[in-house]
Amino acid sequence: MRVGIPNFGNSYIAVKAAAQKLDAGDNELVIPPPMTRRTLDLGVKYSPVEACLPYKLTLGSLIEACELGADTLIHARGTGICRLGYYAKGQEQMLHDLGYNAHFLTIDISQHKFRSIMRLIKDVTNGAPWPKIISAFYFAVGKLFALDKIEKVVHKVRALEIDKGTASQIYQEAIRAIDGAPNQREVKKLTRHYVDRLSKIPKNPKASPIKVGIVGEIYVVIEPFSNMDIEVELGKLGVEVHRTMTISRWVKYSLFLNYLGINEWRGVHKLAMPYLDHDVGGDGWESVGEKVLYSRKGYDGLIHLAPFTCMPEIVAQNIMPSTKEDIPVLAVLCDEQMAKQGLITRLEAFVDLLEFRRKRRDGKRA
Amino acid sequence: MIKVGIPRALLYYQYYPAWETFFETLGAEVVVSPPTNKAMLNSGISRAVADTCLPVKILLGHAISLVDKCTCIFIPAVSSLGEKTYNCSKIIGLPNMARALIPECPAILDPVINVEKGRYSLYQNIYKLGRHFTSNPFKLRRAIAKAWKSNLAYRSRMFDEGIMPVQAIEGVFQERGQSEPGLNSSPLRIAVIGHPYVLYDEYISHRLISRLQNRRVEVFTPEMASQKAISAAARRLVGDPHWSFESDIIGAGEYYLEEEVDGVISVSVFGCGPDSMMIGFVQHRAKELEIPFLPLSLDEHSSEGGLLTRLEAFLDMVKRRERVCV
C-alpha cells in the first residue's frame, strides 16, 4: 500500500514524521511534490468549473501523488455546510475517471476527529500497537508546534529586518531542519536554535510596523501557495502579520481540548454575536468575530482571505462592513486567475492607506 | 395589525403556503413582494458583495422593496432540515446578511430552523417567533398545526397534479400537458432540475419551463417526484446527503435518469456552492447512461438570446437522437 496525502501547509512534515516512527512494513508514504503551477493547472482542468480553490489544489496535489504511485489517499471529510463534505466523493470519482484506482481514507474533521484520525492510523499501519501510535503522534505534533512557533517569530522579524528576505530564508532552513530531525529532543533544540537566530537578525530599531491580522478560510490562510505568499509580501512591505489559525492550534484544540469542553473560538464567537449569532459553516463565524477582536486589540488592518465563491466567507464578507468596530479590511479572493503582481499592487495600496490612517490618528492625538 | 413582509425569493417557493397560513392564523397581515424585476435585482446587487450568488442578491432586492410596506420582514435562517444535513451557509446566514446590508430594514423575524438540534429547540424557536403575535400558546399551537397541514397539502398538490409551485401557490389549476401533441411526434420528456427559486423565478430563468412547454415538451421538475423516491435516488448517487435542497435536486436528476427521460436540463446560478459540486455527479451519471444533459448556469448577465439558442440546439439534438434510435 502506498499512501498519498494532499499538500496542506506544513502538514506533510507531521505525516512524514509519524510514518517514520511507525515504520509500517511494506506500507509506504507518498508525499506529492510542493505545489507548482502544474498542480493548479491539473486541479483546474479536472475539477468542476465552479469548485473552490482548495478543491482544485487538493485534487491537483492528489493527482501528483497518484503519478508517484500512490494507491491509497488520505483526505479530510466534514459533515457539512460547506463544499468540504463532497471533496473526497468528487475527487475519488475524478481520479477514477482518470484511471487511477485510488482508494480513499477520510478523516472526519467535523465530528469524532480524534477517533477518526486514530482509526486511520491504525488502518494504514496494519494495526500497530497503541503505545507506538501514541508516541509517533506525539512526535508528529511536536514538529507542527515547533514550526508554528518559529513562524510566529518570523512574522514579527520580517517586518523589522533591515536585509529583507533573511527571515524567510532562515524559516525555509528551519522547515528543512525540523523535517529531518530524528527525535523530539532534536526538534526542541532546533526550535531554540532558529528562534535565537531569528532574534539576532539586524533590525530597524526605530520602526513601529503596521500590524495586520489575517483571517479567513483555513486552507487559503495556511497554504502559502494558494495565497501567493501573502505573508512574505506583507513582510517585504514592512508589515507585521498576525494570524490565529495554524495547524498546531487546530490539533491542540480540535483533537484534545475540545473534548474537555474548551472551545478556542468561544470568545471570538461571542464577539461576533451582535452581527452573526450562529454558525454558518467553514470559518465564516470566526472571521466576523476576529474582525471585532483585531479591531479591539488595536491592529491597523485586516486581510480577509477566502477562496472565490466560498459560501461561509461570503456571508462573513457581507456582514463585516456593517460592524461597529472600525478597521480597514482587504478582502482577497483566491482563485486560479489571481496574479501576483496584481496582489502586490493591492497590498501596497492597502498598506499606504493604513499608514495614512495611522498618521492621521497620531496627528489628532498630538 | 402587524404586517409581515415575505420576500418572493429563495425559500418562498418551497414554504410560502405554510408561512402564510401561520401568520394569518395568528392574525397578522401578509404582504408579499411583487415578482422579481430589474429594479429589484439592481437594488440587491448594489448592496451585496460582488460574488454573492444571484438568489441572495434577489432576496435582498425583494426585502428592500418591502421596507416601507410592512412592520416586519420574515427571513428565517433554515439551517438544517434533517439529521446531519444542512443548508448552504448563505441560507443559514440570510437574516444576518439582510440586517447588515439593509440598515433601513424594519425588524427582521429570523427564527432559526434547525431540525438537527432536536425537537425541543425547534419548538422553542417557533414559539419565540410566535410571541411577536400572541402570548397564547394554544393559539400558536393551532397555527403551527394549520401551517404544517397547508404545507403538506401544497406538497401533495404539486405531486398529485403535477403542477408547478407558482400555480399551486396561486391556486390556478391547469391541465397537465395542455399542449396538443403534434401530428407524428410524441412529446419529448425532459427533466428540468434546479432550485425552485431559480426555476420558478421567471426573471432569472427567462421563463424556461413555459418555453419548453410551448415547444411541446413534457417537463418534469423535482416537485413532481415523490420525496421518498428522490431521497432513495440521492442516496444511490452520493451516499449520505449533506445538503438537503441539493440532494433533492440531484436525487430528482438521478430518479428521472433512471426513468429514462429523453434529456435532463440542470439550471443553476453562477456561484452556487452546493450546485457546483452536486450537478457534477448527475452529469457524470447522465454520461454513463448516455442521456443528453444540458447544464445551464445563469447569472445577472445571462441574456435571453443565448439561453434560447442553447435550448433550441439541445432540443434539436434530443429530437434527432430519438429519430436515429427509432
Mean pLDDT for all residues in chain A = 91
Closest CA to A224 of A233, A236, A211: A233
Whether residues A40 and A153 fall in one domain = no
Residue in A280, A288, A291, A320 to test binding to B, most B beta-carbons within 10 Å: A280
Same domain, A272 and A343: yes
Q: Say if residues A15 and A75 touch (Cβ distance below 8 Å).
A: no
CA distance A185 to chain B (A): 43
Q: Are residues A350 and A285 in the same domain?
A: yes
Residue where the block lists cell 513601529: A208
Chain A CA closest to residue B79: A280
CA distance B140 to B263: 46
Single-letter amino acid code for the residue at B212 = L
B276 contacts in chain A (CB < 8 Å): 48-52, 83, 309
Which amino acid appears at position A273 of this protein?
M
Cell of A214: 489575517
- What is the extent of the structural domain holding A89? 2-128
- The stretch B39-51 carries a mean pLDDT of 92
Contact state of B297 with A93 under an 8 Å Cβ cutoff? no
The conformational region for residue B216 under phi > 0 = left, psi -120 to 50 = alpha, else beta, is left
> Where does the pLDDT of residue B119 fall: very low under 50, low under 70, confident under 90, or very high at 90 and above?
confident
CATH of region B3-158, choose from 3.40.640.10, 3.40.50.11890, 3.90.1580.10, 2.130.10.10: 3.40.50.11890
| CATH code (residue A344) | 3.40.50.11900
- B3-158 against B185-325: fold identical: yes
Structurally, how many domains does chain A consist of?
Answer: 3
Same domain (yes/no): A60, A108: yes
Exposure class string for B34-55: b at 16+ Cβ within 10 A, else e: eebeeebbebbbebbbebbbbb
- How far is C-alpha A77 from the chain's CA centre? 16
Distance of CA B132 to the CA centre of its chain: 27
Is it true that domain B185-325 has CATH number 3.40.50.11900? Answer: yes
B170 min Cα distance to partner chain A (Å)? 33
Same domain, A197 and A262: no
Mean pLDDT of all residues in B22-49: 93
Q: What are phi and psi of A167, to 5 degrees?
A: -60, -45
| Contact predicate A134/A121, CB 8 Å | no
Whether the per-residue pLDDT at A222 is higher than 90: the answer is yes
Please tell me the distance from the alpha carbon of residue B81 to that of residue B243, in angstroms, as a whole number. 9
A300, A353: one domain: yes
**Which runs of consecutive H residues, i.e. helices, occur in chain A?**
11-22, 37-46, 53-67, 87-97, 113-124, 130-160, 166-180, 184-199, 218-222, 230-236, 247-250, 266-272, 284-296, 311-319, 340-365
B273 Cα distance to chain centroid: 15
Decide which of A182, A207, A232 is a domain's last residue.
A207
- H or E element in which residue B159 lies: helix B137-161
Q: What is the pLDDT of residues B249-302, one digit of tens each?
A: 999 999 999 999 999 999 999 888 888 888 989 999 999 999 999 999 998 888
Nearest to A80 among B86, B270, B279 (CB): B86
Percentage of chain B modeled with pLDDT above 70: 95
- Give the separation between CA B246 and CA A311, rounded to whole angstroms: 15
| pLDDT tens track for A82-123 | 888 888 888 999 999 999 988 898 888 877 888 888 888 888
Query: Is there a single domain that holds both residue A294 and residue A175?
Result: no
CB contact under 8 A, B238 and A89: yes
Q: Which of A111, A128, A145 is the last residue of a domain?
A: A128
Q: Which of B181, B186, B264 is nearest to B222 (CA)?
A: B264
Q: Are A220 and A227 in contact (CB under 8 A)?
A: yes
Chain A residues with CB under 8 Å of a chain B CB are 48-52, 55, 79-83, 85-86, 89-90, 93, 97, 275-282, 284, 308-312, 314-315, 317-319, 321-322, 331, 333
Asked if residue A308 and residue A245 are part of one domain, the reply reads: yes
Q: Specify the pTM.
A: 0.91
A-chain residues near B273 (CB < 8 A): 52, 82-83, 309-311
Q: Are residues A315 and A345 in the same domain?
A: yes
Task: Pick from B53, B59, B96 the residue to mutate for testing the A interface (most A CBs within 10 Å).
Answer: B96
Q: Where are the domains of chain B?
A: 3-158, 185-325
B245 touches chain A (CB under 8 A): no
Do A273 and A223 reside in the same domain of the chain?
A: yes
Assign A140 a pLDDT band (cuts: 50, 70, 90): very high
ipTM confidence: 0.89
Q: What is the arrangement of strands in the sheet containing B107-109, beginning at the earlier edge strand?
A: B29-32, B3-6, B72-74, B107-109
Is the pLDDT reported for residue B183 higher than 50? no
Same domain, A217 and A192: no
Alpha-carbon distance B121 to B138, whole Å? 18
- The set of cell numbers assigned to A11 is 502538514
Please count the residue pairs, one from chain A and one from chain B, whose beta carbons lie less than 8 angstroms apart.
113
Handedness of CA A122, A126, A130, A133 (dihedral sign): negative
Rounded distance, CA A239 to CA A157, Å?
10
Q: Which residue among A93, A128, A163 closes a domain?
A: A128
CB contact under 8 A, B48 and A319: no
